[in-house]
Every structure is written in structure tokens, then in C-alpha cells.
């Protein structure tokens, strides 16, 4: 199927944005993830959409390295939260992704923009994840990897904490399926969970994922997060 120009542009911008975050995580310098995103015009629309897709991980250097966010990037982040709220019938992953972005702003003590200003920290429902099989659980957790942060407390992290062996099984499955993005996301979660079997060989597995899939910035982002996770301090 032919890809629309919007889709191609959006995907490319997401990859560029992920690359910026990876650079910032590797260098420890938020300036590497600087405010190169447009805010106005068509470029601004794509930038906001790309930030919405990358989600709370756009501000990951701030969460893990305690560096202040670049003001330009923070402004686009707020715009993205406001411009792309989940629809009433949106899938749980879409709703949780938006919640994670709002949570990232709250963690920075940033006032929530526009219609979100009156919202509390009310969590979306996580029932769909409670009963998920281990394959689906791992897929969903990998999609929601921006929630895998030290000290994060929400319904999704509580489900993950209860099922370390299932996530470990899902990690191995993802590696064997060569689904590097899912493997990297699951690996990021596993660095946070207690009760992960030693026989998993997580470090070796993550090295292998880096070797095979690390050229994709979205994979590299998850791997950098996993690398920093044990030392990460949430603001």
C-alpha cells in the first residue's frame, strides 16, 4: 500500500526526534535535543504530531538525567498535549500515552495547558492489560515504554511489576521474532522489575538487540533508557 506523504513525513520526523533524544541521553546534554522543532505552519503541525507519537520520551533526558528541558522543545511538547488529546473511543494505549505526557509535565511542575489545566492526575483504566496474555502484555508494555521510569507509579507499572516472568518471556519472543522495537521496549521494562529470572541473560540480550536493531533511533532510545535506568532519578 502506498504511504501518504503525511505519513512518510511524520515517520521521518519521529525518527529525527528520537535521534535527538538518543544523542541527549548519550551526551548528558539537553542542548543536543535542542529546540529545532518548528511551532508554526505546516512544519509546526508535523512537529507536534511527531512529539505526540514519541510521547513522554521526548522529555526523557529531563526525567533520567535531571537536565532542564530545552524551552523550545517543552513549548512544542505542551502544544502537542493540547492539540492531540485522545478521542472518546481511542484505544487504551493512545489514552495512556497522552496521560504519560501530561504526567511528564506535572513532574516538571509545569502548568497543564488549556483544557487539561483542571484535570487531576486521574489514571485511565488498565483493565485491558490485567487479563492480557503474556504476548499481548509484552506488546502493549513495549508500546507504553515511556511509562517505564524509575519511581513511576501507575496502573500499568503495577501490572508489569506483578508479571516479570511474562515480560521476560515476551522479551525472548520479541528477540526471536526480530521485533527489535518490542524487544528494546520490553528490555527497558525488565530493567525496572524485580523477579526477572537470571537465566534470561538480559544484559546479553540487550547487547544483541543493540547489535541487530540499534540503527533504528526508536530502538536505540529504548536501549539508552534501559542503560540509564538503574541510575536514573526521577525528578
Stretch that binds other proteins, among 10-18, 24-32, 66-74, 225-233 (CB under 8 A): 10-18
What span, in angstroms and rounded, lies between the C-alpha atoms of 153 and 185? 18
What span, in angstroms and rounded, lies between the C-alpha atoms of 102 and 96? 10
Asked if 215 is part of the footprint of other proteins (rule: CB under 8 A), the reply reads no
Asked if 93 is part of the footprint of other proteins (rule: CB under 8 A), the reply reads yes
Of the residues 40, 120, 122, 176, which one makes contact with other proteins according to CB under 8 A:
176
From the CB of 175, what's the least distance to other proteins, in Å?
7
What span, in angstroms and rounded, lies between the C-alpha atoms of 31 and 15? 18
Asked if 145 is part of the footprint of other proteins (rule: CB under 8 A), the reply reads no
Of the residues 14, 74, 105, 221, which one makes contact with other proteins according to CB under 8 A:
14
Closest CA to 193 of 224, 150, 227: 150
From the CB of 131, what's the least distance to other proteins, in Å?
17
Asked if 49 is part of the footprint of other proteins (rule: CB under 8 A), the reply reads yes
What span, in angstroms and rounded, lies between the C-alpha atoms of 193 and 135? 17
Closest CA to 80 of 106, 107, 49, 44: 49
Closest CA to 63 of 104, 115, 120: 104
Three-state DSSP class for 225?
helix
Of the residues 13, 62, 97, 222, which one makes contact with other proteins according to CB under 8 A:
97
Asked if 27 is part of the footprint of other proteins (rule: CB under 8 A), the reply reads no
Of the residues 111, 115, 133, 201, which one makes contact with other proteins according to CB under 8 A:
201
Stretch that binds other proteins, among 9-17, 60-68, 71-79, 126-134 (CB under 8 A): 9-17
CA 170 to chain CA centroid, Å, is 18
Asked if 2 is part of the footprint of other proteins (rule: CB under 8 A), the reply reads no
Amino acid at each position: 500500500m502506498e504511504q501518504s506523504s503525511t505519513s512518510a513525513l511524520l515517520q521521518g520526523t519521529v525518527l529525527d526526534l528520537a535521534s535527538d533524544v538518543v544523542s541527549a541521553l548519550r551526551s548528558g546534554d539537553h542542548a543536543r535535543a535542542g529546540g529545532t522543532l518548528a511551532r508554526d505552519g505546516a512544519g509546526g503541525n508535523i512537529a507536534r504530531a511527531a512529539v505526540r507519537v514519541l510521547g513522554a520520551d521526548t522529555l526523557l533526558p529531563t526525567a533520567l538525567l535531571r537536565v532542564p528541558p530545552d524551552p523550545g522543545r517543552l513549548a512544542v511538547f505542551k502544544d502537542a498535549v493540547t492539540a492531540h488529546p485522545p478521542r472518546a473511543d481511542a484505544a487504551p494505549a493512545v489514552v495512556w500515552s497522552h496521560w504519560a505526557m501530561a504526567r511528564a509535565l506535572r513532574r516538571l511542575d509545569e502548568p497543564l495547558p488549556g483544557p487539561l489545566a483542571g484535570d487531576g492526575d486521574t489514571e485511565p483504566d488498565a483493565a485491558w492489560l490485567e487479563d492480557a496474555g503474556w504476548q499481548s502484555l509484552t506488546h502493549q508494555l513495549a508500546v507504553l515504554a515511556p511509562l517505564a521510569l524509575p519511581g513511576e507509579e501507575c496502573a500499568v507499572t503495577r501490572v508489569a511489576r506483578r508479571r516479570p516472568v511474562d515480560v521476560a518471556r515476551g522479551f525472548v519472543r520479541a528477540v526471536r521474532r526480530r521485533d527489535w522495537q518490542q524487544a528494546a521496549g520490553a528490555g527497558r521494562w525488565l530493567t525496572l522489575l524485580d523477579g526477572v529470572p537470571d537465566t534470561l541473560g538480559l544484559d546479553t540480550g540487550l547487547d544483541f538487540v543493540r547489535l541487530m536493531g540499534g540503527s533504528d533511533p526508536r530502538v536505540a532510545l529504548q536501549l539508552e533508557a534501559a542503560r540509564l535506568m538503574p541510575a536514573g532519578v526521577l525528578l
